[in-house]
A = this chain, B = another copy of it.
Amino acid sequence: MYTFDQNYTKRVSVKDVAYFEIKKNIIEGELLPGQAVIEEELATQLKISRTPLREALQRLELDELLIRQPNGRLKIAPISVKEAEEMFLIRILLEGVVVRQATDKIEEREIQQLHNNIRMCDEAAQAGRFDDFMNTSSQFHFMLYEISGNKTAVKILYQLNDHFMRYRRLVPAKNFHEKNSSKEHQRVLDYIIARDASNAEKAMQEHLIKSKKIALDVIRGYKNLDQL
């Protein structure tokens, strides 16, 4: 009945390519907050038809990276300080859960990977490679997401992360630079190694509260600039 090789060539749909491409453009600020999105225009640019494009756009709308106006037109989601606050708060709670669950499940090999990540973070920081630092630093969190095995929480966290990445791009990378992030990650890892889930959670939440504050200052600054 089953052949060993099932020839699963992972079919990449036009829809998904469009989704990730447009999302990238939103996050990186090629498409600006508030800007109108015209289906026909975008379809022409991406050289695809409106059918799969509309499915990609609907998904971005559900992600709240696009907003549908009462007249049915789409626009790139404006930056909202209130929403940003809500999202950071939820992140703090869910990432707390994730760390707790990761602590209970983590294996030696994964601990080593987290160690390596922290080292790479330090190296990037030393060398002044800000973007590299940010990406590597994010990876620390993502690794814990995967280790936790909590699909439901992780899905939400990744969605929130899309928004956080957009916030970052609002300002030059170095302004977002959190010098102590590595040390804070190390502290979380130390508790994880000690299998102390509740302190690991607490350490992570303290870390996130700090980055929340830094981020919100930036977002508020952008908002003020925006309103001039």
Number of residues on chain A facing chain B (CB within 8 A) = 23
* Known contacts A70-B8, A94-B93; A151/B86 CB under 8 A: yes
* Known contacts A55-B54, A55-B55, A72-B11; A93/B83 CB under 8 A: no
Name the residue in A62, A86, A152 with the highest tally of chain B Cβ atoms < 10 Å from its Cβ: A152
Cβ-based interface call for A173 (8 A): no
* Known contacts A72-B11, A93-B93, A94-B93; A156/B153 CB under 8 A: no
Cβ-based interface call for A150 (8 A): yes
Interface majority SS (helix, strand, loop, mixed), chain A:
helix
Q: Which of B83, B97, B150 contacts A151 (CB 8 A)?
A: B83
A58 to B63, CA, bound (A): 13
A187 to chain B, nearest CB (A): 23
Contact B59 A152 (CB under 8 A): no
A149 to chain B, nearest CB (A): 9
Contact B87 A97 (CB under 8 A): no
Query: Quick one: which of A104-156 are within 8 Å of B by CB?
Result: 150-153, 156
Nearest B residue to A89, CB-CB: B97
Nearest B residue to A156, CB-CB: B156
**A residues neighboring B (CB under 8 Å):** 8, 11, 51, 54-55, 58-59, 62, 70, 72, 83, 86-87, 89-90, 93-94, 97, 150-153, 156
Q: Which 5 residue pairs across A and B have the least CB separation, nearest first?
A: A86-B152, A93-B93, A86-B150, A87-B152, A55-B58
Identify 24 residue pairs between A and B in the complex whose beta-carbon atoms are under 8 Å apart, listed by A's number: A8-B70, A11-B72, A51-B51, A54-B55, A55-B58, A58-B58, A58-B59, A59-B62, A83-B151, A83-B152, A86-B150, A86-B151, A86-B152, A86-B153, A87-B152, A89-B97, A90-B94, A90-B97, A90-B152, A90-B153, A90-B156, A93-B93, A93-B94, A93-B97
